[in-house]
Amino acid sequence: MSEAQLPIDEASAIIEQLKPETLNFLAWSALWSSLTEDELREAAWQALELPGTLAEVNAAYWSLFHAGIPQPPIPALVHAMLNLDGAGVREDWMRAATYLDLTWSHARLPPDQLGPACEIFAMACEREEPVIIDTLVERYLLPWLDQAQKLLNANEQPALATMLARFRTHIDEARALSARVARALRAAQADGSGTVPH
């Protein structure tokens, strides 16, 4: 076993301690990353309780979100989808990652590709960082999703339409977490205790 591997019982104990929002976005990270192995991507599809199997829609998934010249029809690269300057968008995501103390020692995608972006977002949820959550949702994730849902032909690709709808549901759940944390912070500041109830 390498140093990077955890025994199964230790990994299970860690997973049980994570917030549901964190687990959701770690699964989305595995699903959206073009570097994820097929078995892990399929496991993420199942963990997100998406219809059927990813294998059934794999060709459409890849051709819509990852492959295309000059880019796919619905790029999983946020700045490309939103027609924004890539350097500025990547800088925003890297700033969030740096604040959350995230580093990668393996092959990397741009931080605004939905794989790493969802990993960054998962850690913001886990650390209950309402400013980061709200900023990333409002500036990037919801605009990307709004555009993706407009471009996807839901009648031709019902499983992928369900996937995008589930992504929206999980974003909404993360926003609700952010709102609860922000209210708790305001209440703690108002009563002078400085202690945030969980």
Give pLDDT tens digits for 127-181: 989 999 999 999 999 999 999 999 999 999 999 999 999 999 999 999 888 777 6
For the chain, how many structural domains are there in total?
A: 1
Residue 198 lies in a domain: no
Residue 36 lies in a domain: yes
Closest CA to 181 of 138, 134, 130: 130
Residue 175 lies in a domain: yes
Which three-class secondary structure state does DSSP give residue 196?
A: coil
Residue 45 lies in a domain: yes
Bridge partners (DSSP) of residue 77 are 113
Question: Residue 177's pLDDT is what?
Answer: 81
Question: What is the phi/psi pair of residue 113, to 5°?
Answer: -75, 140
Range of the structural domain that residue 96 is part of: 19-190
Question: Residue 85's pLDDT is what?
Answer: 94
Name residues of the chain where pLDDT drops below 50.
Answer: 1-3, 6, 11-13
Question: Residue 179's pLDDT is what?
Answer: 73
Residue 150 lies in a domain: yes
